[in-house]
Amino acid sequence: MDREFAGRRVVVTGAGSGIGLATTRLILERGGAVIGVDRSDAGIASIGAIGAVPIQADLTSTEDRGRLLDAAEGVHGLVLSHGVTQGQRIDEVTEADWDRLHAVNLRSVFFLLQAFAPRLPDDGAIVTVSSVAAKTGTIPEVAVYAAAKAGVLSLTRSFATAHAARGMRVNTVLPGVIDTPMQRQFLEFNAPIHGITPEELNERRLGAIPMRRAGTPDEAAEVILFLLSARSSYLTGQMVNIAGGFVTW
């Protein structure tokens, strides 16, 4: 199993930090090659530092997606872990907020799936990264993000069905509270809305998790690698929660 990705090339978006970076590192450690995509200079530096091929791109851009597709000829897998969030009162969301969050978290996912899925081999696999927020909808301050991530669930099922007959698989993971830069950003912007400190909000969130702790990026990445690998060869169109028991359906 240690070399299970030998001879395999995978594109990982959002590869510069958090779950994307952990996924990239584990694929490399297990013999694979990775094209890592990120928008920021810091993310690109992190990708290059661990031995992946970095591509700097804004995935909301048709031109940048096309450039990525050209560079990724012959890949065997795709992990779509890029995303952005922002916290605000639900009655303060503007059309510009909606458009920006959906452009990154949903629109780009659709067009990347549309572009890559037909090009992957029959034994290829795609993993999208949604969120438990897509199922619960219980944090009004991230309503737009949650709606976009719910759309990712639907897209995953649609593309899984479209390509199932030939064996190419598409599944999604739904992280809960994972110790990533996005999670820390969530605490910073959401705590003031509730009139508490980020530390207090973190304790409140952890208290709602049956396992009473946050997950690690590596724990999430291990599930992603399983879904990319031949070990999950009869799974497609599935939603896997990575949430310490917080969501069980």
Write down the pLDDT at residue 116.
98
Range of the domain at 219: 9-242
CATH number at residue 106: 3.40.50.720
Q: Is 3 inside any structural domain?
A: no
Q: Is 76 inside any structural domain?
A: yes
Q: Is 4 inside any structural domain?
A: no
pTM: 0.97
Among candidates 186, 181, 159, which has minimal Cα distance to 170? 159
Residue 1 — very low, low, confident or very high, per pLDDT cuts 50/70/90? low
**For residue range 163-182, what is the model confidence (pLDDT) as tens digits?**
999 999 999 999 999 999 99
pLDDT above 70 coverage of the chain, percent = 100
Report the number of distinct structural domains present in the chain.
1
Residues carrying an active site annotation: 145
Report how far residue 1's alpha carbon sits from residue 159's, in angstroms, rounded to the nearest whole number: 28
**For residue range 186-222, what is the model confidence (pLDDT) as tens digits?**
899 889 988 999 999 999 999 999 999 999 999 999 9
Q: Is 141 inside any structural domain?
A: yes
Q: Is 2 inside any structural domain?
A: no
**For residue range 84-122, what is the model confidence (pLDDT) as tens digits?**
998 889 999 999 999 999 999 999 999 999 999 999 999
CA atoms within 13 A on the CB side of 167: 8
